[in-house]
């Protein structure tokens, strides 16, 4: 019997498809050096292990994914790589209703947001950012760009704080100054405790509502939002993160929002996990996003 799987959906970049995929194998500038650059290729190899049929809904995923390959960034610095990632992502946004931007470290989020403006002709004031992340990513940019400051860099680019919703923020993983800056800047702040008390559905609803005034949205899925025991391949993850079930639910619900044009995956370092748990989780994440997208 045949085994319909996610790899079946990948088509050449020149083919018509509702979804695009761009790899951004960026590893430089990481707070914790590693091999996040291996993640795009590892994800592609794992897709064949995830089926397309959702037993719970009775629907089979069918959306084709045009694979645009990896942005040719090699071992470039973040500053050097930003333009190439931005260009590749914008080209995909121009052609597809949804683009997966697969990092690489979390610095890929900034060129992804900027690409939305490039492709859709929107100022940053009309673009929303929703992060699933344990961290605010508001470290200073005084010493350059890094994976710990893409949100800070975007704020400095002109992205209004009221356009930012941050979900899954963890205790003992952020500074008081960052927390104050986020609140005073107008961010929506949803902690891991909020999610445990009120549920992930409510958290997603609040996030979408917070950026409802925006015309297009990028969703940043930093994998360190997940409890480290359930995704050991995330160098920034810690015990006490959100459950992988909540992560999947959030991804599906966010992908169902028609304004979401780009979803990134960042901070997966494949060699950190000697098992296949992290790889299978990342591939299942893509299936959840596709299921949400097809429900629009």
Tens digit of pLDDT for each residue in 237-254?
A: 999 999 999 999 999 999
Closest CA to 107 of 24, 216, 190, 22: 24
- The C-alpha atoms of residue 273 and residue 276 are separated, in whole angstroms, by 7
Asked if residue 163 has a cis previous peptide bond (ω within 30° of 0), the answer is: no
Residue 14 has what pLDDT?
A: 87
- The C-alpha atoms of residue 267 and residue 236 are separated, in whole angstroms, by 8
Mean pLDDT of 148-163: 97
Could you state, in order of their start, the residue ranges of all structural domains in the chain? Answer: 6-294
Residue 73 has what pLDDT?
A: 95
pLDDT band at residue 10, thresholds of 50, 70 and 90? very high
Residue 1 has what pLDDT?
A: 52
Contact yes or no for 196/240 (Cβ under 8 A): no
Contact yes or no for 264/218 (Cβ under 8 A): yes
Quote the percentage of the chain above a pLDDT of 70.
100
pTM: 0.97
Residue 121 has what pLDDT?
A: 97
3-state secondary structure of 189: strand
Residue 34 has what pLDDT?
A: 86
- The C-alpha atoms of residue 84 and residue 67 are separated, in whole angstroms, by 16
- The one-character DSSP state at 62 is -
CATH class of 6-294: alpha beta
Enter the tokens of residue 126: 């009309």
Mean pLDDT of 183-207: 98
Query: pLDDT tens, 49-102?
Result: 999 999 999 999 999 999 999 999 998 999 999 999 999 999 999 999 999 999
Q: What is the mean pLDDT of the chain?
A: 96
Residue 160 has what pLDDT?
A: 98
Element of type H or E holding 188: strand 188-191
- The C-alpha atoms of residue 150 and residue 111 are separated, in whole angstroms, by 9
Pairing type for strands 59-60 and 53-54 reads antiparallel
Scanning the structure block, which residue is given the tokens 């959100």?
A: 242
Distances in Å between the Cα of 274 and the Cα atoms of 43, 235, 281 are 15, 14, 14
Residue 196 has what pLDDT?
A: 96
pLDDT band at residue 2, thresholds of 50, 70 and 90? confident
Contact yes or no for 45/52 (Cβ under 8 A): no
The residues near 203 (Cβ < 8 Å, ≥ 6 apart) are: 167, 168, 190, 194, 195, 250
Please name every residue paired with 159 in a beta bridge, in sequence order, or none if there are none: none
């Amino acid at each position: 019997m045949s085994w319909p799987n996610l790899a079946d959906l990948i088509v050449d970049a020149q083919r018509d498809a509702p979804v695009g995929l761009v790899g951004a194998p960026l590893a430089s500038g990481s707070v914790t050096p590693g091999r996040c650059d291996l993640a795009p290729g590892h994800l592609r190899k794992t897709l064949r292990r995830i089926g397309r049929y959702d037993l719970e809904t009775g629907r089979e995923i069918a959306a084709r994914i045009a694979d645009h390959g990896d942005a040719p960034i090699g071992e470039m610095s973040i500053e050097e790589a930003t333009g190439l990632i931005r260009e590749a992502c914008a080209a995909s946004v121009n052609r597809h209703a949804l683009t997966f931007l697969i990092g690489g470290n979390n610095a890929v989020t900034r060129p992804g947001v900027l690409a939305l403006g490039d492709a859709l002709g929107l100022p940053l004031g009309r673009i929303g950012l929703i992060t699933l992340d344990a961290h605010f990513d508001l470290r200073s940019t005084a010493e350059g760009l890094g994976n710990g400051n893409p949100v800070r860099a975007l704020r400095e680019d002109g992205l209004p704080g009221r356009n930012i919703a941050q979900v899954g923020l963890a205790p003992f993983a952020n500074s008081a100054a960052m927390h104050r800056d986020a609140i005073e800047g107008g961010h929506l702040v949803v902690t891991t405790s909020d999610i445990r008390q009120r549920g992930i559905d409510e958290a997603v609803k609040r996030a979408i509502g917070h950026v409802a005034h925006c015309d297009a949205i990028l969703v940043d899925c930093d994998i360190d939002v997940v409890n480290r025991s359930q995704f050991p391949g995330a160098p920034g993850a810690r015990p006490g993160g959100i459950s992988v079930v909540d992560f999947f639910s959030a991804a599906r619900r966010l992908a169902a929002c028609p304004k979401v044009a780009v979803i990134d995956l960042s901070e997966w370092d494949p060699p950190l996990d000697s098992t296949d748990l992290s790889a299978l989780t990342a591939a299942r994440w893509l299936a959840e996003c596709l299921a949400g997208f097809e429900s629009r």
